[in-house]
Structure formats: C-alpha cells, structure tokens
Amino acid sequence: GAVVSQHPSWVICKSGTSVKIECRSLDFQATTMFWYRQFPKQSLMLMATSNEGSKATYEQGVEKDKFLINHASLTLSTLTVTSAHPEDSSFYICSATRFDWNSRPGSSTEAFFGQGTRLTVV
C-alpha cells in the first residue's frame, strides 16, 4: 500500500516553544491531508483538513493560530504547535487520501496514516 511518513515520531519540548511536525506522502500525491489528535484511550479527533495550495479547514474548537497547518506541496503537510503548553501534550497523527477525482462514485478511496508523533510539553 501507499506510504505516509510522519516526523518526528516523538518530541519533548519546553513550554512556550513551537514544534513542527511533518507529514509526507512518499509514493503518491495527496491533495488532502488530515491532522488528528488522540488522547489516551480515546479515538482520533479531527483537528483540521489540509488542502494543497489553500488554507486549512479547522474543526470547531481548534485554534488555527495555535495549530498552524501548511500544505506547501502535493506530498507535504506540516503542523506547527505554537507556544506549546503541557495541555498540548498528545499523540498527533496525519492521514492522507489517495483519490482519483475522475473516478465514478463508489470507486475506492483509501486513507493512509503516518506513524504518529508523541508530543510531550514540559
């Protein structure tokens, strides 16, 4: 299957600093990437949808000035947690879909996940 690479897999940072997480689709072009946050023993919470060449679409309750998303190319999206605080500590996962816009309704589309980034803010 397709490969999505997320980096770093874990990071520890001091409160007040910013952290950038990268998500790359290695063998396909991803016009859309999704960023999720996951707390222990909970499901994935969609934070934002990242569209190549345009602004990200944030879910309700997610601060766009705090979680900056950039989708500069068809293979790279970045999430920057600005002025991180301990409550931002979480597991962040990106996902990319490979979708053929010319395909008929009912044809297959699959979402591929990065390995996730464990962020700890101290």
Q: Smallest distance from the beta carbon of 100 to other proteins, in angstroms?
A: 12
Q: Smallest distance from the beta carbon of 87 to other proteins, in angstroms?
A: 21
For binding to other proteins (CB under 8 A), which residues are involved?
1, 6, 32, 34, 36, 41-46, 49, 51, 57, 93, 95, 97, 99, 105-116
Q: Smallest distance from the beta carbon of 15 to other proteins, in angstroms?
A: 25
Residue 84: how many CB atoms within 10 A of its CB?
22
Q: Which long-range contacts (CB under 8 A, 24 or more apart) does 105-111 make?
A: 110/1, 110/2, 111/34
Q: Smallest distance from the beta carbon of 72 to other proteins, in angstroms?
A: 17
